[in-house]
Amino acid sequence: MKMLITIAALLVSICWTPSVFAGGDELLQYSEITITAVSDGVEYEWEYINPDRFEVERGEAIIKGSEAEKEITQLVSAMALSENPSAESLAQVVKSAGLSDLSSLTVKALDRDRCLFTWGWRNEDS
């Protein structure tokens, strides 16, 4: 019996660690997320529509499927939208993801209750 309790406790501790809920589960809180950025005159857009539509646009190039899903999941996870970040912190996440010459950023997230959250950032030097 003691062994069974130990195994159950171990399974609970493995299953309930924060890393299990990181990443894709952030997306499950939203019906739609659209992230639009402009860097070096090129427009980038990351779009997620629950449950399984993922699309990334880089200028004229469009990426869909598992590659887009991975990129969007990583970006949204890094943004931590559920923690109500500032527009400046979201811009920093996008800059660290490779768009260091970011001139503008718009993030729109529609949650499951149909409440729209919007963040806007513009580089004042642009």
Let me know if residue 71 belongs to a domain. Answer: yes
- Distance, in Å, from the CA atom of 8 to the CA atom of 114, rounded to the nearest integer, reads 38
Q: Residue 75: inside a domain, yes or no?
A: yes
Q: What is the pLDDT of residues 87-124, one digit of tens each?
A: 999 999 999 999 999 999 999 999 999 999 999 999 99
Reported as a pLDDT band with limits 50, 70 and 90, residue 126 is low
How many domains does the chain divide into?
1
**DSSP output for 46-112:** EEEETTTEEEEEETTEEEETHHHHHHHHHHHHHHTGGG---HHHHHHHHHHTT-TTEEEEEEEEEET
Inside any domain, residue 6: no
CA–CA gap between residue 98 and residue 120 (Å, rounded): 19
Helix axes 87-96, 66-79, angle to 10 degrees: 140
> Has residue 56 been placed in a domain?
yes
Query: Is residue 4 situated within a structural domain?
Result: no
Domain hosting 72: range is 22-122
Q: Is residue 14 part of a domain?
A: no
Confidence band of 1 (pLDDT split at 50, 70, 90): very low
